[in-house]
Amino acid sequence: MKKLKCIIIEDQEVDRLLLQHLINQNDNLELVAYFNNAESALNHLSSDIDVLFLDIDLPGMNGIEFRKKNVNIPACIFISSHPEYAIETFEIDTLDFISKPLKKDRFDYSIHKLIDFFSMKEKSEYFDILSGSQFLKIKEGHNTIQIKISDIIYLEALKDYTRLITLQKKHCVLSSIGQILKENHFSNFIRIHKSYAVPKHLITKKNSYEVVINSNINLPIGRAYKENLSFFDS
């Protein structure tokens, strides 16, 4: 896979220098530029940026506002000392949220997630629902595979792609989560968040901010989708 081109927007010099060091140490990343405020970054963005490392508490325009203006950048990783904003950031195409102080092992985990995202994106070409059946046909690289719809435990939105999560494997398809949910075969799935949809029957627990599916997987609830879960309270 090609090196991923990154920019940093961070106003705290110590945090920025640490992040620069970690990026420069990683063979999969290429640091293109760094900025101490969002306004400066707006004037120097290029179309080939792959990853945005972004603080929230910035002078002038904050990080969340900046991301809303630049959702065309494929991946965004927030690094912030305000964990209370984590749920809000996942409403705006966020790949990961890291709480400060930044630590190498947490950064490495996030980069593993980042590489997985771009790798799946490169491999995914199409999927078809096989007529009259409960299977999906998915193209992955040079192979075509079939998976049972009943084996999917949740869907995860990745911009124009959707990740289909089963207990055995993660599959990525070139179709938005909204388009997939329009298919009759997915009528049992409900949208719980901008980034997630789950089968109703797999929800085992729910509170005001997340659901538990399959007894051991926690997924966030988006504020705009809480009404979709009203059936669970009745």
Q: What is the pLDDT of residue 234?
A: 59
pTM of the entire predicted model:
0.60
User: What pLDDT sits at residue 133?
Assistant: 56
User: What does the alpha-carbon distance between residue 29 and residue 99 come to, in Å, rounded to a whole number?
Assistant: 21
Question: Residue-wise pLDDT tens for the chain (234 aa)?
Answer: 689 999 999 999 999 999 999 999 999 999 999 999 999 998 878 778 999 999 999 999 999 999 998 888 889 999 999 888 887 887 787 889 999 999 999 999 999 989 888 877 666 555 555 544 577 878 776 777 888 888 999 999 887 788 899 988 888 887 888 888 888 888 889 999 999 999 999 999 999 899 999 878 999 999 899 999 988 875
Residue 123 DSSP code: H
Single-letter code of the amino acid located at 172? C
Strands 75-80 vs 51-54: parallel, antiparallel or unpaired:
parallel
Taking the C-alpha atoms of residue 120 and residue 65, their distance in angstroms, rounded to an integer, is 28
User: How many Å apart are CA 80 and CA 7, to the nearest integer?
Assistant: 16
In the three-class reduction of DSSP (H, G, I as helix; E, B as strand; rest coil), residue 39 is classed as: helix
Closest CA to 174 of 125, 105, 123: 125
Give the pLDDT of residue 81.
92
Length of the chain: 234
Domains, the chain, ordered by start: 4-102 (3.40.50.2300), 124-233 (2.40.50.1020)
How far apart, in Å, are the Cα atoms of 67 and each of 41, 117, 150, 194? Answer: 11, 18, 35, 15
Which residues lie closer than 8 Å to 136 by C-beta, 6 or more apart? 127, 128, 129, 130, 146, 147, 149, 164, 173
d(CA 68, CA 171): 27
